[in-house]
Amino acid sequence: MKAIVTVVGHDQKGIIAKTSMTLFEQGVNILDISQTIMQDMFTMIMLIEYDSSVSINKLNESLNEIEKEMGLSIHIQREELFTSMHRI
């Protein structure tokens, strides 16, 4: 299964490291990543892949911890939902 993860917030050290380590610890593979800094705002979009043994709820809880700790906005959305929402 695939999902889209978005991360937005004030630029600071450790955003990529903490996010990617959390995904790794949950057994998630990052297929593609795009990140940029606009003035002092960090933005990142990742396409991730995970199997049925990965709990999306547990993954979301782990990302929420990073979100609170670092003052970020982190969202995860399954690819099929993301694709359906963006069709004409």
Q: Enumerate the domain spans of the chain.
A: 2-85
pLDDT above 90 covers a percentage of the chain that reads 78
Angle between helices 56-70 and 15-25 (to 10 degrees): 160
pLDDT single digits (tens) 34-77: 999 999 999 999 999 999 888 888 999 999 999 999 999 999 99
2-85 fold: Alpha-Beta Plaits (3.30.70)
Return the structure tokens found at 73: 């906005």
Angle at CA of residue 35, ends 25 and 29, nearest 5°: 30
